[in-house]
Structure 1
Amino acid sequence: MSRFSQRLSDLGYAAGWRLARMLPASAGATAFSLGADLAAKRDGAGVQQLRSNLARVVPQADEVELDELTRRALRSYARYWHETFRLPSMDQREVSKKVAASITGVENLDAALAEGNGAVMALPHSGNWDIAGVWLADYLGGFTTVVERLKPESLFNRFVAYRESLGFEILPLTGDSSAMRVLLKRLRENKAICLVGDRDLTSSGIPVKFFGEQTRMPGGPARLAATTGAALIPAGCWFTEDGWQIRLHPRIRVNAREEVPAATQALADIFAGDIAAHPTDWHMLQKFWLADLEIEESVSTGEAS
């Protein structure tokens, strides 16, 4: 991405934050939904990939149903951004109370922290994970997470400031061991960390089978649990008509490094169960399965026929 494109991206996000807070909530929601419908009609590369991903998640869907699933998924993604842009001006205590009224599985988190080794919570790109973070920060007084280092730096700093304002401790994904050292320290302090665990952003992901096809998922959550004795707790997030649902699953036992691949597969299986039940709330507009990634790599190296 050129510097000019990066600057435009930063300005676009800045405008989104301002406009979403200026508009009444209902008007903003309508505007973002209309934008999602327009994106569906334009059928760009991201929309086409979303449709391809949904075809794996809902293999029984015909062409008409896939079109509808894609439209609804884009509306869900637009809702995520609308809520994200509005969240700093929302009453976060009220948001937390609303989540607390419906969240399930909190006893799994409580039991983990009672053991004294911390908790590693892993979740996919589904629903509104920032809303889940607002509840978690309120419930525990804070937590730590790792985020991708976006470009330009001004955009990355904007997102860091936004999430820190919600009570998150943010560590940038830098490619070295600095973030890992802080995460280990937090777990040894019997604190919680929360990691997005479906899309692998490195070259060291763990091979898993997901909806019947091979892909890779980050091994970090299971490795942290194996290293520290922390509980590995899968989490699911999805939208309801007027709110959010969060489910904290029972812990996945992982006691040694050699158990990391099996634990990561177990995590993938739980993610798949929640995503299959709420496919349009999984916001995956990127290539995800190895078959797609290998095609992309072969094209970029000129190996495609």
Structure 2
Amino acid sequence: MKRNFLNKTFVYKISLWIARIFPLRFLKWIGRSFACISYLIFKDARMNVMNNLSHIFIDPIMVRNNSKKVFINYGLFLADWAKLIAMDAKEIFSKFSIIEGSEIFAEAQKNGKGIILLAAHLGNWELGGLFFGTSKIPINIITAKDEVSEIANIRAAVRGLHNVKTITIEDDPFYFIDIVNALRRNEIVAMLIDRYERDNGVLIDFFGEPAYFPPGPVLLARSTGCVVLPAFTVMDKDGNYKTAVGSIIKMEFSDDKEKDINVNLNKIVKVFERYIQKYPDQWYNFTPIWNKSKITK
């Protein structure tokens, strides 16, 4: 998986070191300042964000303005993330202004076969995971194997401090067993699926053009009977967060596996489109989603 421009070991280490010393307000100032500089000097990342947003906005001014906001909001995201390691449960809960759809989540738990929680690189997905962990709700984060193991270890350590387990997708199939076992224990399995490589991916219409999505969530639901829920943790204007749990995505299954994958992935992607359109300046995809560019470099 191609890494984004800030997915480097020194960025994580510096962020955590600074977070131990300075208050959050100062961290956000640093994050915002660094983001503004990054927008100017990291041309590839800037063009990738602009190209992705050009599939949402027709107006080039809207594309450019929201692209700048993506960088700034990501700087704020990093500041909040760095501070998480020192937060207790009460402090984490204080970061949330509202939890939407808690009754939907409670209903999904009654199924007893686990929940696949689907999210995008939208808002603060790490904080969303920690909310469930600190609420004593068993949650497992599925993550791709990082090119730099040290980064993966840092992320997993931060999650582990707040009762969030990490399951890494490896080359061998044993990780799949861990996922199935978690669902059988009626736990949450959370995954981000809006950034996917061609290998084993399925082309689904996404904002009017085909993009690759993983068949895994549909295949897991098909084989285990688990519930599939969309959930997004996004930043409000006041700097706090809200978690929105969407309606249960009704899976349709038949004897045709390929048909099931396409039908159900289309349902999932339509939900993603609605939330991304609502919060385009918090869609942190610094790598290209589509091969075809709409932006001239």
Question: Shared fold by TM > 0.5?
Answer: yes
| SS across alignment from 1:103 | strand
Contact residue 144 and residue 171 of structure 1 kept, 8 A: yes
Q: What is the match of residue 268 of structure 2?
A: 267
Match of 1:228 among 221, 224, 227: 224
> What CA distance in whole angstroms lies between the structure 1 residues aligned with 2:126 and 2:21?
20
Amino acid at match of 1:287: P
Point out the structure with the larger helix share.
Answer: 1
Deviation at 1:117, TM superposition (A): 1.3
Point out the more displaced range, 242-251 or 8-17. Answer: 8-17
Structure 1 runs (4+) greater than 3 angstroms displaced: none
Q: What is the match of residue 168 of structure 1?
A: 164
Q: Percent identity?
A: 19
Task: Say if 1:98 and 1:86 are closer, same or farther in 2 by CA, change over 3 A.
Answer: closer
Amino acid at match of 2:50: R
Q: What is the match of residue 217 of structure 1?
A: 213
Deviation at 1:176, TM superposition (A): 2.6
TM-score, normalised relative to structure 2: 0.89
Task: Say if 1:89 and 1:184 are closer, same or farther in 2 by CA, change over 3 A.
Answer: same
Q: What is the match of residue 145 of structure 1?
A: 141
* Gap regions ≥5 residues in structure 1: 1-7, 293-305
Contact residue 137 and residue 187 of structure 2 kept, 8 A: no
Task: Say if 1:201 and 1:168 are closer, same or farther in 2 by CA, change over 3 A.
Answer: farther
Contact residue 134 and residue 162 of structure 2 kept, 8 A: no
Amino acid at match of 2:89: Q
Q: How does 1:237-248 map to 2 (within 5 A)?
A: 237-241=233-237, 242-248=239-245
Task: Say if 1:21 and 1:195 are closer, same or farther in 2 by CA, change over 3 A.
Answer: same
> What CA distance in whole angstroms lies between the structure 1 residues aligned with 2:185 and 2:287?
36
Amino acid at match of 2:251: V
Task: Say if 1:81 and 1:248 are closer, same or farther in 2 by CA, change over 3 A.
Answer: same
> What CA distance in whole angstroms lies between the structure 1 residues aligned with 2:136 and 2:215?
25
> What CA distance in whole angstroms lies between the structure 2 residues aligned with 1:145 and 1:9?
20
Contact residue 48 and residue 287 of structure 2 kept, 8 A: yes
Amino acid at match of 1:130: E
Point out the more displaced range, 227-236 or 149-158. Answer: 149-158
Residues 29-51 of structure 1: per-residue CA shift (max 9 Å, x gap) = 11110111112222511111101
Alignment RMSD (CA, Å): 1.8
Q: How does 1:1-305 map to 2 (within 5 A)?
A: 9-59=8-58, 61-62=59-60, 64-99=61-96, 101-201=97-197, 203-241=199-237, 242-256=239-253, 257=257, 258-291=259-292
Task: Say if 1:260 and 1:139 are closer, same or farther in 2 by CA, change over 3 A.
Answer: farther
Amino acid at match of 2:274: G
Contact residue 230 and residue 246 of structure 2 kept, 8 A: yes
> What CA distance in whole angstroms lies between the structure 2 residues aligned with 1:161 and 1:138?
15
| SS across alignment from 1:176 | coil
> What CA distance in whole angstroms lies between the structure 2 residues aligned with 1:51 and 1:105?
32
> What CA distance in whole angstroms lies between the structure 2 residues aligned with 1:164 and 1:203?
30
> What CA distance in whole angstroms lies between the structure 2 residues aligned with 1:36 and 1:126?
17
> What CA distance in whole angstroms lies between the structure 2 residues aligned with 1:144 and 1:151?
21
> What CA distance in whole angstroms lies between the structure 2 residues aligned with 1:102 and 1:80?
18
Contact residue 146 and residue 179 of structure 1 kept, 8 A: no
Deviation at 1:182, TM superposition (A): 0.9
| SS across alignment from 1:216 | strand
Residues 105-137 of structure 1: per-residue CA shift (max 9 Å, x gap) = 122221111121111110000100111011111
Deviation at 1:102, TM superposition (A): 0.7
TM-score, normalised relative to structure 1: 0.87
> What CA distance in whole angstroms lies between the structure 2 residues aligned with 1:178 and 1:12?
31
Give the length in aligned residue pairs.
282
